[in-house]
Structure 1
Amino acid sequence: MTDKALSHITILDFSHLLQGPFATQLLADMGANVIKIERPGKGDLFRSLTFRDTWLGGESPNFLAWNRNKRSLALNLKSPEARAAIMKLAETADVVVQNFRPGVMARLGYGYEDFRAVNPRIVYCSGSGYGEDGPYENRPGQDMLVQGLTGIMAATGQADHPPTPVGAGFSDQVGAMNMVYGILSALLWRERSGKGQEVKVNLLAGMLAHQNQEMVMAMNTGADFERPNSGIGHPGMDAPFGTYPTTDSWVTIAMSPYATLVGVLGNDDLLRFDDPETLFDQRDAVWRAVAAETGKWSTDALIEALLAADIWCGEVKSHLGAAADPQVAHLGLVTSYEHPRAGTVKVIGPAVGMSATPPAISRPAPLVGEHTREILASAGYTESEIDDLLAEGAAGVPG
């Protein structure tokens, strides 16, 4: 077995839902020993939430998506005996990750200072919605709410429709990437300094940072973007940049010479719009005129013709369509793991390739407390002591 890049790193993962669990899954894919600390019996909140009330063998697909390659340790955080066990694990751990509301972990005795007292080298990463304090300190930090606050929702969709959220947990996923970025930076600095530190990530800052080109434009010109009233793909772009109908689906057309596109479509009357100012000021009219022509083509025929003319284009695919895409198959992005209850779970594999230490999926998402005995035993607890913790309700195993 090829060694993994982070196989020497142990993470105590208190996070739930998407932001924190995605971050720790990314690190687990690289070999980190992630110990997911969950509530006995109930576990991560995502175990009880799912899309369309659809379950896989009684398990939430949402949970299965973000928790592979981890072990589950079920402990009652309010129990003194559980706290003692966690601090014993913290003595040799490298990272703590949590995304509870600000102050919750500290009130329970699991704040940064609590962990630093037993391990000065610990890297403690907190994820929040809006930071640790300020006027939004007590607001719920949920993905769609943050999309609304940071401009991306107001810039997405058509002008005569409501502001449109991205069709995935985009704020949470940006937050997860920032968690990984911060954790790895802190671990690298620890190699030089020997010291741990606290890393703080919030969804508000992350979403603004990932829209920096839009923010720079708006803040330095004093003008907000105005959404188009058609399939133009960005509120700051001119035509033909956007999404266009075909006889059987939709295609995307990005930055491409307008005259070249007109040549492919075969209607020279469209050249009346071929002026940079017109292509922006009348972009909705341009879109409608171009869409009338693309709507005469099948998707396959139009894509073939556009690519032959070196026009940037692509098909619009559903999630299932994307899973069946030939390039996705070529890259081997769809893989699976075997779960004791859900059976074979199809997933998207790691997105990063590494020549010497490639990431891999070695464990399915765990059952609540599946590894409680194993983890506590590795920390030095005897079978009798573990039995006592279970009897007292300080720890839990699968029901």
Structure 2
Amino acid sequence: MSALDHLTVLDFSHLLAGPLATQMMGDLGADIIKVERVGEGDLYRRLPPFFNTRINGESPHFLAWNRNKRSLALDLKSAEARDIILEMAAKVDVVVENFRPGVMERLGLGYEQLAAVNPAIIYCSSSGYGASGPMSARPGQDLLLQGISGFMSVTGSKDGRPTPLGISLADQLCSYHIVYAVLAALIHRMKTGRGQRIEVDMLRACLAHQGQELLFALTLGKSFERPASGIAHPGMPAPFGVYRTADGWMTISMNPVDRLADVLDLPALASCSDERLWNERDEVHALIEAKTATASTAHWVESLLAAGLWAGEINSLQDVASLEQAEHLGAFASYEHPTAGTVRTVNIPVDLSETPGEIRRPAPRVGEHSREVLAAFGFDDDAVAAWIEAGIVGDLEGHASRT
């Protein structure tokens, strides 16, 4: 038994924020019906940068965020597809969509339309900047949000260009907001029998995860200034930061300066006052790095950890793929895909003693489950076959557009 195996979710989302959220629900047992465009499917099936690094023709993007789902391909611009969805909506628990504000309403599939056939439905809309306001019509993409939300202003060095993270963090923070909002709405429905509309946006997700930084700015009217060394968090004094070693890089976190100075054999560091660690943090950083650059990362990390100090390696993704602790935790898993073959991926990141999650299905092919899903919702086989022939419904045999 899985925690959410009683739930059916209609997933209209694409790219990352919505698909990761629904994958998380699917990992915990929910039946995720991914509604895709006939023929083309989710944009992530064909989007670069991994365009030339496909896995037997399959996009690593799509494989990463769409396991434990069934694909139903529909031409949502058709009246017939709208009627199909409205009939299905009467029997599902949750809807998730991340089109620009107003798109689902124009398709006749907004909250009001679906709630009319199922008042208990939980309908979650996700966007870049919310459904209204001066920025609501802007494109909501991770890089754009990292800049607009302030993330980049506190990353990197003072004299360098603003630095985005090398992962799609804005998207993924939004995913977690979708999941916790849906779970909260499900608990409310258990108590009252009533569904509700949920609105989540990437901007507020990013702002919510800068609580200490924005409290500083909002309350005191000040911003953190990035140090020239790019030491790390701009609100922290030295020695907190990233340091070059003889063979790579390492991190040194919050530590008593006298003990750190002893392990590094740096008497000059031991005499640094708290004021100097803040006011002259770039100079202190340079003092420490001149020392760490004389020996290997392994030497310094082992020495500092042995002294009870906080330090760590900076691993490449390939290093992480063979990290013993990750293997110990079962952080990675494999599944078989009908065209990609064996896919090694990140596993479900939580352990539940009574209702563990499970990777039950590989990421689907476009329309792979169209016939199966529609039959389960009671649609007649002959009607489904006619819709496929007309291009209203897509399946694995093609029918990429309406004829």
Query: TM-score, normalization: structure 1?
Result: 0.98
CA distance in 1: counterparts of 2:263 and 2:217, whole angstroms: 35
CA distance in 1: counterparts of 2:212 and 2:107, whole angstroms: 40
CA distance in 1: counterparts of 2:146 and 2:117, whole angstroms: 38
Q: Which runs of 4+ in 1 moved over 3 A?
A: none
Shift of 1:245: 1.2
* Pairing 1:57–2:73 present: no
CA distance in 1: counterparts of 2:85 and 2:316, whole angstroms: 43
User: What secondary structure sits across from 1:201 in the alignment?
Assistant: strand
Shift of 1:50: 3.1
User: Match for residue 283 of structure 2?
Assistant: 285
Does the 8 Å contact 1:231/1:244 carry over to 2?
no
Shift of 1:271: 2.6
User: Match for residue 341 of structure 1?
Assistant: 339
For 1:349, give the aligned amino acid.
N
Unaligned runs of 5+ in 2: 399-403
CA distance in 2: counterparts of 1:124 and 1:52, whole angstroms: 32
Unaligned runs of 5+ in 1: none
User: Match for residue 42 of structure 2?
Assistant: 44
CA distance in 1: counterparts of 2:205 and 2:381, whole angstroms: 45
User: What secondary structure sits across from 1:8 in the alignment?
Assistant: coil
Q: Percent identity?
A: 52
Does the 8 Å contact 2:158/2:230 carry over to 1?
no
For 1:239, give the aligned amino acid.
A
C-alpha distance after superposition, 1:66-108 (max 9, x if no partner): 0000000001101121112111211110000000000001000
User: Match for residue 189 of structure 1?
Assistant: 188
CA distance in 1: counterparts of 2:318 and 2:10, whole angstroms: 34
How does 1:43-192 map onto structure 2 within 5 Å?
43-53=41-51, 54-192=53-191
How does 1:317-396 map onto structure 2 within 5 Å?
317-396=315-394
Does the 8 Å contact 1:71/1:370 carry over to 2?
yes
User: What secondary structure sits across from 2:153 in the alignment?
Assistant: coil
User: What secondary structure sits across from 1:384 in the alignment?
Assistant: helix
C-alpha distance after superposition, 1:214-243 (max 9, x if no partner): 000121111111001114111110000001
For 2:370, give the aligned amino acid.
T
For 2:59, give the aligned amino acid.
S
Aligned residues: 396
User: What secondary structure sits across from 1:153 in the alignment?
Assistant: helix
CA distance in 1: counterparts of 2:316 and 2:177, whole angstroms: 27
Shift of 1:265: 0.6
CA distance in 1: counterparts of 2:217 and 2:259, whole angstroms: 31
CA distance in 2: counterparts of 1:116 and 1:285, whole angstroms: 61
Shift of 1:386: 1.0
Does the 8 Å contact 2:50/2:61 carry over to 1?
no
Shift of 1:312: 1.0
User: Match for residue 198 of structure 1?
Assistant: 197
Does the 8 Å contact 2:155/2:230 carry over to 1?
no
Aligned with residue 13 of structure 2, among 5, 12, 15 = 15
For 2:124, give the aligned amino acid.
C
Shift of 1:270: 2.6
